[in-house]
Amino acid sequence: MDPETFKAAYSNLPSHTMDAAFYDFMSARLEAHAPNEATLQAQLSISRDSFRKKLAMHADKENNFGAFGSLAACSERLGKDLLSFGNGFPAVTFFRGLYTIYQTCTGDATLHQPYNSPSTHAQLLAKAGSRSHLLLDSSLKTFYHGNLQQFFWEVIGFKAPGPSKSPTCWRRKEGELLCPGHASSAPDIFLNLPLLLMFEDLEVSSTGSKEDDDWDYPLRLRLFPKTHVIANSKGLSYELIGRVYLQSDHFTGDYSIDQQHVYSYNGMKHGGKAVLLEGNSCTAKFALGGLHAFTYAALYRLKGGRTAQETFTQHQAKLLEEAFQLTIHRSSTTVWPTITSSRPGAKILATEDLFWLHNPNPYRARQELGFDLPRSLDTLQ
């Protein structure tokens, strides 16, 4: 974690937010000093326990913080207080990626009003959503043969991960399908990626064996294949900086700040303090290369920082415009982005036209669109 980037993102946040508490906690660790090791260890322990208490008090679900609760619950909680706070955008995008959803349907002109769809219709997440981590499971591991790099490329490449599906239209009322058209898949289309990216495998078992096959967590996770037009742009890759392992009764972890020196953390050893690995185990290639089974989570850092983050956003914005005529609106890098359709004849359906919804919210983030378009150009499977 780059201290200067972190401070720039997290300073001057509202004091009541969990993010401000996180900033105080991390600042205390970055600036910690004491006359001896024992005193320093005590200071860090007090700071850690204080933040844990605040996190548990403000958790969305208390059981997220049990002995085997979601480790990603912390990053999931961070940023939620800032979604409506203008200057909090840099802090939100430190741990959260931004996405939109765009789904189309072919419609059917043979039905009677108001259920017919003489033109294609679509739904669009007009205000970007956010996601703090990517979940892994056994079905995805089987489909991708444990290849995390391939899975990641499909996640950020406008394609729903896993086996392809042909869903029915989303227009239903009381369980009845109102449109027989063929809908496209609706993956999260990432507009921005976080500076710190976490993968979490909730199905990992502490009683498995190495023969169960772990995901392949590469030291370098590329945003694009080598042949891609911007693949070699500076900093467009993630570096593996930490892995969390599931033991029989607790979590342990290895992490590296520079992929050269690796620290190991086990709360039941060394007084709960991280220790520097030495000898052959001191390099990231050895310690983070997957020698342990039961990897529960992996943490990656975007090598190019804010510059790479902005390069990716500009690239995605161009693709959205070319593929779907969707435009991302941002007055500055601190303002939450919105997305609109610029297709000729596109119309946002009024609340009263959403006949399949019960008391639709006029301020709902997901917009319904109707337009006359060649269907061959507007169906993404």
Model pLDDT for residues 124-154, shown as the tens digit of each residue: 999 888 888 898 988 899 999 999 999 999 9
Q: 275 is in which domain, residue-wise?
A: 96-377
Cis omega (within 30 of 0) for bond into 161: no
**Statement to judge: residues 192 and 55 lie in one domain:** no
Query: Token pair 């161009």 is at which residue?
Result: 318
**Statement to judge: residues 42 and 137 lie in one domain:** no
Model pLDDT for residues 202-213, shown as the tens digit of each residue: 776 555 444 456
CA–CA gap between residue 315 and residue 156 (Å, rounded): 12
144: left (phi over 0), alpha (psi -120 to 50) or beta: alpha
pLDDT for position 289: 57
pLDDT for position 356: 83
Residue ending a domain, among 94, 118, 135, is 94
**Statement to judge: residues 225 and 305 lie in one domain:** yes
**Statement to judge: residues 160 and 298 lie in one domain:** yes
Which residues are CB-contacts of 68 (< 8 A; sequence separation ≥ 6)?
246
**Statement to judge: residues 86 and 100 lie in one domain:** no
Which residues are CB-contacts of 378 (< 8 A; sequence separation ≥ 6)?
104, 120, 122, 324
CA–CA gap between residue 270 and residue 247 (Å, rounded): 17
Strands (E) across 193-294 are located at 196-201, 220-222, 237-246, 251-256, 262-266, 275-276
Count: domains in the chain: 2
CA–CA gap between residue 33 and residue 274 (Å, rounded): 16
pLDDT for position 212: 56
Give the pTM: 0.82
**Statement to judge: residues 114 and 88 lie in one domain:** no
Instruction: Please give the full DSSP string across 115-148, using - where no structure is assigned.
Output: T--SS-EEEEE-B-EEESEEEE-HHHHHHTTTBH
**Statement to judge: residues 37 and 161 lie in one domain:** no
pLDDT for position 145: 92
Pairing of strands 133-136, 196-201: parallel
**Statement to judge: residues 61 and 81 lie in one domain:** yes
**Statement to judge: residues 108 and 26 lie in one domain:** no
Which residues are CB-contacts of 329 (< 8 A; sequence separation ≥ 6)?
337, 338, 339, 340
CA–CA gap between residue 220 and residue 197 (Å, rounded): 13
Residue whose C-alpha is closest to residue 134's, from 151, 150, 147, 119:
151
Which residues are CB-contacts of 69 (< 8 A; sequence separation ≥ 6)?
63
Q: Are 9 and 82 in contact (CB under 8 A)?
A: no
Burial degree of 169 (CB within 10 A; 0-12, 13-18, 19+):
buried
Collapsing DSSP to helix, strand or coil, 12 comes out as coil
Residue ending a domain, among 48, 75, 94, is 94
**In 10 A of CB 165, how many CB atoms?**
11
Residue ending a domain, among 48, 68, 94, is 94
Residue whose C-alpha is closest to residue 356's, from 53, 117, 62, 134:
117
pLDDT for position 143: 92
**Statement to judge: residues 194 and 329 lie in one domain:** yes
- Low-confidence stretches of the chain (pLDDT < 50) are 61-68, 114-115, 208-211, 373-381
**Statement to judge: residues 116 and 259 lie in one domain:** yes
**Statement to judge: residues 230 and 276 lie in one domain:** yes
Which phi and psi angles does 265 have, rounded to 5°?
-125, 125
